[in-house]
Amino acid sequence: MWPKPYDIRPILLKHPLKIYKLQSTNLNSMSETILQVRNLQVEFIGDYNKVKAVDGISFELKRGETLGIVGESGSGKSVTALALMGLLQNPGKVTGGKILFSQGSQLIDLLKLPPDEMSLYRGGDLAMIFQEPMSSLNPVYSIGFQLTEAIMRHQNVNYEQAKRLAIAGLQEVKLLETDAQIEQQYIDFTHNYGSHSSSPDLLNLAKLVTDHKEQLLQRYPHQFSGGQLQRIMIAMAISCNPSLLIADEPTTALDVTVQATIIDLLHELQKNRQMSMIFISHDLGLIAEIADKVAVMYQGKIVEYGAASEIFNNPQHPYTKGLVACRPTLHSRPQKLLTVSDYMNAELDEFGRLKITAKEPHQPPEITITEINSRLEKITNKPPLLKVEKLKVGFPVRGIFGENKSYNMAVNSVSFDVFPGETLGLVGESGCGKTTLGRTLLRLIDPLSGKIVFNDQDITYLVGKKLQKLRREMQIIFQNPFSSLNPRMKIGNAIIEPLLIHHVGKSKKQQQDRAVELLEKVGLSADDMGRYPHQFSGGQRQRICIARSLALNPKFIICDESVSALDVSVQAQVLNLLKEIQAEFNLTYIFISHDLSVVKFLSDRILVMNKGKIVESGTSENIYLQPQQEYTQKLIAAIPTGSAERRKK
């Protein structure tokens, strides 16, 4: 049993209007417009300078409506959300504007509320779902404790009532089955494995249902997947029936299938509760599926504002046009992706004001089916660079006395070839075995059985100096560029480090020249050699990781979700870069991702992986146009298309 949350009902009693609002809300008496933001300004003030993160933005939100706020990292989206919630931390400060929130027939300026009163609105009338649920939940407390604490913080209920509300919330977000479904599971289990009684003890059944629900509440955050944790965060956010829910990038790190489920869930909850929502994302295609209106932000300003369908189908501002164009689609195969810089130039004038000049981009030519087939035929006529035969990778499941009771098979009898100069896409949901397979191919994980042949050499059980020598020819680009770079090491040294380990380059100057050459190859400069990772954006850090992977002139690179955490425009730049350096250095890639549209743009062939097995393989075009497996069809259907069809369903 979890600790009893702190009872704050005495604090609530100081605010009788707040309690009345929670207990007797009448939607018909409320204003149609629930939120008005007028000329909001947020600045981060340092010792010697100040940065205007939000620069005089205005918008409004009606009851039951969804506003999408879209833009790249640094555009001011999240800062706007934090200002609305009163969660800005020093040195951030609201320096101007109003945030008017409708409560009944009154408009309340949230910026003028004292902190103790604002804390009651926050989590009650106003709720927020953050991007990373694991960092938003306390790992040392059970989810039951954290849910009941939030409920008792804002509702005049006792502990047992709060627990019942927590269970109801988890059932509403479909993390927990309904009572009837749990009962049926126990009845089916009894009939199949128990006494075969046709009428189980109803009193005992009721207790089993109660125990089942409470067991879920007693679990800790690390015992849930990313999608499940996000459902818990949603349950916590809606537990006090908020009038306004802010969702800040709630699906960015999730698989497309889980993302689609979360989007559908939010829309269903919004419809059932008549709740208004602000949905923040860098992906305009995703925003178009859930939002009624869209505000496009760039460098702290709203540059375009209007109906979602209009903005997506007929964007007016060059920045919006760039965001729409830079995401790869399943319907076309351009030679390169357009980026925001193809649609506009942004520079400061002599007064320090941002000046945007529109550009007319040159549309890249489409790659024809004939060209695709010709390239594939040329590639597959060569002997394979990598051969994988019946590879099995498992992680031991320990028995009660410490012995290996069984193995959890992450990769189960997988076979395929990779040809020189090819990009082989590997797609599937989290937990399907993609990353484990990739790391096993690089011999970072030992296989249980099977065979890995690289460049005509059996490397399955290679060790010692022979394995170290192999590392020169096989590299990996990880998903998170910040965690794969040493924060205490200058990036020049990070690129030189592989050269030192493998004794490449006769002198320090040769090694530095090589590092500069690689930085320039990925769009950075020699001046960046002395800077640290935290001084670069996410896209720049990924470019640094690509430069480091090229340091030893490898033949084969595994890209493990290497663009999934990037803004769509930065993602397009990195994908273009990967294609360019592949052509220049004749590289062979395995590109791992859960996003089939990204994989299709880059790959010649695609393997679809599910539960440790390859369930479908074929050319990129065939996998999209003629998917044979239901699992592949589900992955394709979950990709954001920019239409509201899924939302309407």
* pLDDT, tens digit (0-9, with 9 covering 90-100), for 279-309: 998 877 788 888 999 999 998 999 999 999 8
Full-model pTM:
0.79
pLDDT at 603 over 70: yes
List the alpha helices (DSSP H) in 471-587. 491-501, 508-521, 538-549, 568-585
The whole-number pLDDT of residue 9 equals 38
pLDDT one-digit tens code per residue, 65-92: 999 999 888 888 989 999 999 988 888 8
Looking at residue 3, the DSSP 8-state letter turns out to be P
The whole-number pLDDT of residue 110 equals 92
Amino acid at the residue 367? I
pLDDT at 172 over 70: yes
Tabulate helix, strand, coil % of the chain (nearest 5): 40, 25, 35
The whole-number pLDDT of residue 15 equals 40
Amino acid at the residue 404? N
3-state secondary structure (DSSP) of residue 175: coil
Residue 561 · residue 592 · CB < 8 Å: yes
Looking at residue 342, the DSSP 8-state letter turns out to be G
pLDDT band at 196 (very low <50, low <70, confident <90, very high): very low
Mean pLDDT of all residues in 592-617: 91
pLDDT at 200 over 60: no
The whole-number pLDDT of residue 403 equals 59
**Rounded Cα–Cα distance for residues 432 and 609 (Å):** 6
The whole-number pLDDT of residue 189 equals 67
User: Could you tell me how far CA 37 lies from the centroid of its own chain?
Assistant: 28
The whole-number pLDDT of residue 11 equals 38
- Whose structure tokens read 């959300």? 81
Helix (H) or strand (E) holding 418, with range, is strand 404-418
- The per-residue pLDDT of the chain, averaged, comes to 84
